[in-house]
Structure 1
Amino acid sequence: MDWDVYRGVNLARDGGYNLSKCMEAAFDPIIAHHFNLSREITAEVFRRYGLLLSDWMAKESPALVSLTSSLTKRH
């Protein structure tokens, strides 16, 4: 899958920000609770993560792999 979900977004500039915001939405509460961190600290962690992602996306051609699994209970 292509990570450029907004078509025309500069991945090197905006892609890292967009992806880090998605990760922040999903994992911020978990990380904050587990490590007992304030919102300011986790915001800074994800800001830096976005910068690292942007740098990586500028150098690579990232692709997203979606893996789905289904579990069933045996009787």
Structure 2
Amino acid sequence: MGKPTVSTTMTNANQAVIWQPYVEDSASCHPAILVQVDACGLLILAQEGRDILIQPETLPELFRQLKRLAQHQQ
């Protein structure tokens, strides 16, 4: 699996789109993820009408846990 393609949208609005790569073993293609910053400085991950609000201070722990969980899949 290659790295996802990231594109910046509306640079002034602090947004980026992460396109998830097609994986042959997967039964379906997964939708892109929109990452943006709101007026309060919270990070917003959005996908198909669902949003997750993340405080920037929690990013180091979030990254650690995502890496840990991803290693269990390999």
TM-score normalized with structure 2 length: 0.30
Higher relative contact order (CA 8 A, sep 6+): 1
Which structure has the bigger radius of gyration?
A: 1
When you count helix as a share of all residues, which structure comes out higher? 1
When you count strand as a share of all residues, which structure comes out higher? 2
TM-score normalized with structure 1 length: 0.29
